[in-house]
Chains A and B, each alone.
Chain A
Protein backbone atom coordinates (compact mmCIF):
# COMPACT_ATOMS: atom_id res chain seq x y z
CA UNK A 1 0.00 0.00 0.00
CA UNK A 2 1.39 3.38 -1.01
CA UNK A 3 1.59 6.12 1.57
CA UNK A 4 0.30 8.60 -1.00
CA UNK A 5 -2.37 7.44 -3.45
CA UNK A 6 -2.90 9.45 -6.60
CA UNK A 7 -5.97 9.21 -8.79
CA UNK A 8 -6.60 8.78 -11.55
CA UNK A 9 -3.44 7.01 -12.69
CA UNK A 10 -4.07 7.89 -16.34
CA UNK A 11 -6.13 10.64 -17.90
CA UNK A 12 -6.59 11.44 -21.57
CA UNK A 13 -8.64 14.52 -22.43
CA UNK A 14 -9.24 16.97 -25.24
CA UNK A 15 -7.75 20.45 -25.30
CA UNK A 16 -10.00 22.92 -23.48
CA UNK A 17 -11.42 20.46 -20.95
CA UNK A 18 -11.06 20.80 -17.18
CA UNK A 19 -9.65 18.11 -14.92
CA UNK A 20 -8.87 17.36 -11.29
CA UNK A 21 -6.15 15.10 -9.94
CA UNK A 22 -6.24 13.84 -6.36
CA UNK A 23 -3.55 12.92 -3.86
CA UNK A 24 -4.75 11.12 -0.72
CA UNK A 25 -3.15 9.70 2.41
CA UNK A 26 -4.05 8.61 5.90
CA UNK A 27 -0.93 10.39 7.16
CA UNK A 28 -0.54 14.03 8.06
CA UNK A 29 2.12 15.98 6.19
CA UNK A 30 3.87 19.17 7.21
CA UNK A 31 3.64 20.27 3.58
CA UNK A 32 2.81 18.82 0.21
CA UNK A 33 4.38 19.48 -3.15
CA UNK A 34 3.28 18.96 -6.73
CA UNK A 35 5.77 18.21 -9.47
CA UNK A 36 5.40 17.79 -13.23
CA UNK A 37 7.65 15.45 -15.15
CA UNK A 38 7.90 15.48 -18.92
CA UNK A 39 9.26 12.54 -20.93
CA UNK A 40 13.03 12.27 -20.70
CA UNK A 41 13.25 14.84 -17.92
CA UNK A 42 13.32 14.91 -14.14
CA UNK A 43 10.37 16.19 -12.07
CA UNK A 44 10.07 19.96 -11.76
CA UNK A 45 8.43 21.57 -8.74
CA UNK A 46 5.15 23.39 -9.44
CA UNK A 47 4.01 24.41 -5.98
CA UNK A 48 4.32 23.76 -2.24
CA UNK A 49 1.28 23.97 0.03
CA UNK A 50 1.82 24.25 3.75
CA UNK A 51 -1.30 25.33 5.61
CA UNK A 52 -4.42 23.16 5.95
CA UNK A 53 -7.09 24.48 3.58
CA UNK A 54 -4.56 26.50 1.60
CA UNK A 55 -5.32 27.24 -2.05
CA UNK A 56 -2.63 28.32 -4.50
CA UNK A 57 -3.05 29.29 -8.13
CA UNK A 58 -0.48 29.06 -10.88
CA UNK A 59 -2.09 30.43 -14.06
CA UNK A 60 -4.64 27.74 -15.05
CA UNK A 61 -3.57 25.38 -12.23
CA UNK A 62 -5.24 25.49 -8.82
CA UNK A 63 -3.77 23.53 -5.91
CA UNK A 64 -5.56 22.85 -2.64
CA UNK A 65 -4.30 21.32 0.60
CA UNK A 66 -6.88 19.51 2.69
CA UNK A 67 -7.92 20.98 6.03
CA UNK A 68 -6.35 18.04 7.88
CA UNK A 69 -3.18 18.17 5.73
CA UNK A 70 -3.72 14.58 4.57
CA UNK A 71 -4.78 15.18 1.01
CA UNK A 72 -4.45 17.58 -1.90
CA UNK A 73 -5.94 18.25 -5.30
CA UNK A 74 -4.75 19.81 -8.52
CA UNK A 75 -7.32 21.33 -10.85
CA UNK A 76 -6.43 22.38 -14.38
CA UNK A 77 -8.77 24.69 -16.26
CA UNK A 78 -8.92 24.66 -20.05
CA UNK A 79 -6.15 22.11 -20.45
CA UNK A 80 -3.64 22.57 -23.24
CA UNK A 81 -1.34 20.06 -24.98
CA UNK A 82 1.58 21.66 -23.13
CA UNK A 83 0.07 20.39 -19.87
CA UNK A 84 0.80 16.80 -20.94
CA UNK A 85 3.07 15.02 -18.51
CA UNK A 86 3.32 13.02 -15.30
CA UNK A 87 2.01 14.87 -12.25
CA UNK A 88 3.50 13.78 -8.95
CA UNK A 89 2.51 14.74 -5.45
CA UNK A 90 5.05 14.47 -2.66
CA UNK A 91 4.43 14.70 1.05
CA UNK A 92 6.98 16.14 3.44
CA UNK A 93 7.11 14.23 6.72
CA UNK A 94 9.63 13.82 9.46
CA UNK A 95 11.55 10.62 10.08
CA UNK A 96 14.67 9.88 12.08
CA UNK A 97 16.88 11.47 9.42
CA UNK A 98 14.81 14.65 9.22
CA UNK A 99 12.14 15.83 6.82
CA UNK A 100 11.91 13.63 3.73
CA UNK A 101 9.72 13.60 0.66
CA UNK A 102 7.46 10.62 -0.08
CA UNK A 103 6.08 10.50 -3.61
CA UNK A 104 2.76 9.29 -4.90
CA UNK A 105 2.48 6.99 -7.91
CA UNK A 106 1.70 9.85 -10.27
CA UNK A 107 -1.06 10.77 -12.71
CA UNK A 108 -0.13 10.55 -16.36
CA UNK A 109 -2.03 13.25 -18.26
CA UNK A 110 -2.36 13.47 -22.01
CA UNK A 111 -4.07 16.48 -23.55
CA UNK A 112 -4.97 15.97 -27.20
CA UNK A 113 -5.22 18.96 -29.55
Chain B
Protein backbone atom coordinates (compact mmCIF):
# COMPACT_ATOMS: atom_id res chain seq x y z
CA UNK B 1 0.00 0.00 0.00
CA UNK B 2 1.45 3.33 -1.01
CA UNK B 3 0.36 6.93 -1.38
CA UNK B 4 -3.06 8.24 -0.52
CA UNK B 5 -6.02 5.85 -0.70
CA UNK B 6 -9.65 6.91 -0.69
CA UNK B 7 -12.73 4.74 -0.24
CA UNK B 8 -15.24 4.33 -1.64
CA UNK B 9 -14.37 5.40 -5.20
CA UNK B 10 -18.02 5.98 -6.03
CA UNK B 11 -20.99 6.73 -3.75
CA UNK B 12 -24.64 7.38 -4.48
CA UNK B 13 -26.69 8.54 -1.52
CA UNK B 14 -30.11 9.95 -0.83
CA UNK B 15 -30.60 13.30 0.84
CA UNK B 16 -31.62 11.67 4.12
CA UNK B 17 -28.73 9.19 4.26
CA UNK B 18 -25.64 9.30 6.42
CA UNK B 19 -22.40 8.11 4.91
CA UNK B 20 -18.66 8.53 5.47
CA UNK B 21 -15.70 8.96 3.15
CA UNK B 22 -12.37 7.51 4.23
CA UNK B 23 -8.84 8.59 3.40
CA UNK B 24 -5.63 6.86 4.43
CA UNK B 25 -2.05 7.93 3.69
CA UNK B 26 1.07 5.80 4.02
CA UNK B 27 3.56 8.60 3.35
CA UNK B 28 4.30 9.59 6.93
CA UNK B 29 2.81 13.03 6.33
CA UNK B 30 1.49 15.23 9.09
CA UNK B 31 -1.00 17.41 7.22
CA UNK B 32 -4.18 16.16 5.54
CA UNK B 33 -6.79 17.97 3.50
CA UNK B 34 -10.28 17.57 2.04
CA UNK B 35 -10.97 19.26 -1.29
CA UNK B 36 -14.17 19.45 -3.32
CA UNK B 37 -13.95 19.40 -7.12
CA UNK B 38 -17.10 20.40 -8.97
CA UNK B 39 -17.61 20.86 -12.67
CA UNK B 40 -16.63 24.33 -13.86
CA UNK B 41 -15.19 25.32 -10.45
CA UNK B 42 -11.62 25.33 -9.15
CA UNK B 43 -10.59 22.86 -6.50
CA UNK B 44 -12.12 24.12 -3.26
CA UNK B 45 -10.28 23.55 0.01
CA UNK B 46 -12.74 22.34 2.66
CA UNK B 47 -10.76 21.28 5.73
CA UNK B 48 -7.15 21.12 6.85
CA UNK B 49 -5.69 19.02 9.62
CA UNK B 50 -2.16 19.38 10.94
CA UNK B 51 -0.91 16.80 13.45
CA UNK B 52 -4.56 15.68 13.90
CA UNK B 53 -5.71 19.19 14.78
CA UNK B 54 -8.12 21.02 12.51
CA UNK B 55 -6.50 24.26 11.41
CA UNK B 56 -8.86 25.36 8.66
CA UNK B 57 -12.58 25.15 8.01
CA UNK B 58 -13.22 27.00 4.81
CA UNK B 59 -16.84 28.01 5.58
CA UNK B 60 -18.08 24.50 4.92
CA UNK B 61 -21.74 23.70 5.81
CA UNK B 62 -22.23 21.62 8.95
CA UNK B 63 -23.69 18.74 6.92
CA UNK B 64 -20.01 17.95 6.23
CA UNK B 65 -18.20 16.81 9.36
CA UNK B 66 -14.50 15.89 9.26
CA UNK B 67 -12.69 13.59 11.64
CA UNK B 68 -8.97 12.95 11.96
CA UNK B 69 -8.25 10.22 14.55
CA UNK B 70 -4.52 10.13 13.71
CA UNK B 71 -2.09 11.59 11.19
CA UNK B 72 -2.68 8.71 8.76
CA UNK B 73 -6.47 8.70 8.60
CA UNK B 74 -9.05 11.28 7.66
CA UNK B 75 -12.81 10.89 7.41
CA UNK B 76 -15.56 13.06 6.00
CA UNK B 77 -18.96 12.31 7.53
CA UNK B 78 -21.91 13.26 5.37
CA UNK B 79 -25.53 13.77 6.41
CA UNK B 80 -28.61 15.40 4.87
CA UNK B 81 -26.70 16.43 1.76
CA UNK B 82 -28.18 18.35 -1.15
CA UNK B 83 -27.97 17.47 -4.86
CA UNK B 84 -25.57 20.41 -5.38
CA UNK B 85 -23.12 18.63 -3.08
CA UNK B 86 -22.55 16.05 -5.83
CA UNK B 87 -18.87 16.33 -6.77
CA UNK B 88 -15.50 14.63 -6.65
CA UNK B 89 -14.15 14.75 -3.10
CA UNK B 90 -10.38 14.60 -2.98
CA UNK B 91 -8.19 13.88 -0.01
CA UNK B 92 -4.59 15.06 0.02
CA UNK B 93 -1.64 14.98 2.36
CA UNK B 94 1.61 16.91 2.67
CA UNK B 95 4.67 16.50 4.87
CA UNK B 96 3.98 19.56 6.97
CA UNK B 97 1.67 22.51 7.07
CA UNK B 98 3.20 25.92 7.21
CA UNK B 99 6.29 25.10 5.17
CA UNK B 100 7.18 26.72 1.88
CA UNK B 101 6.79 24.72 -1.32
CA UNK B 102 3.98 22.66 0.15
CA UNK B 103 3.56 19.70 -2.19
CA UNK B 104 0.22 17.92 -2.01
CA UNK B 105 -0.21 14.22 -2.73
CA UNK B 106 -3.76 13.42 -3.77
CA UNK B 107 -5.91 10.35 -3.55
CA UNK B 108 -8.01 9.19 -6.48
CA UNK B 109 -11.12 10.79 -5.05
CA UNK B 110 -14.64 9.69 -4.23
CA UNK B 111 -17.23 10.52 -6.88
CA UNK B 112 -20.32 11.43 -4.85
CA UNK B 113 -23.80 11.66 -6.31
CA UNK B 114 -26.65 12.90 -4.13
CA UNK B 115 -30.11 11.93 -5.36
| A100 CB to nearest B CB, Å | 7
Known: A43-B106, A97-B56, A98-B55. A106 touches B98 (CB 8 A): no
- Give the complex CA separation of A101 and B45 in angstroms: 9
From A42, A44, A99, name the one whose CB has the most chain B CB atoms within 10 angstroms.
Answer: A42
Residues of A within 8 A of B100 (CB): 30-31, 50, 92, 99
* Across-interface contacts of A40 in B (CB, < 8 A): 108-109
Main secondary structure, interface of A, reads strand
Contact pick for B106, options A31, A44, A50, CB 8 Å: A44
The B contact surface, by secondary structure, is loop
Which residues does chain B contribute within 8 Å of A98, judged by CB atoms? Answer: 50, 55, 97-99
* Residues of A bordering B, CB below 8 Å: 2, 4, 30-31, 33, 35, 40-45, 48, 50, 88, 90, 92, 97-106
B residues near A (Cβ < 8 Å) are 4, 6, 40-43, 45, 48, 50, 55-56, 90, 92, 97-109
Question: Nearest 8 pairs between A and B by C-beta?
Answer: A98-B98, A42-B106, A103-B43, A97-B55, A105-B42, A98-B97, A31-B101, A103-B42
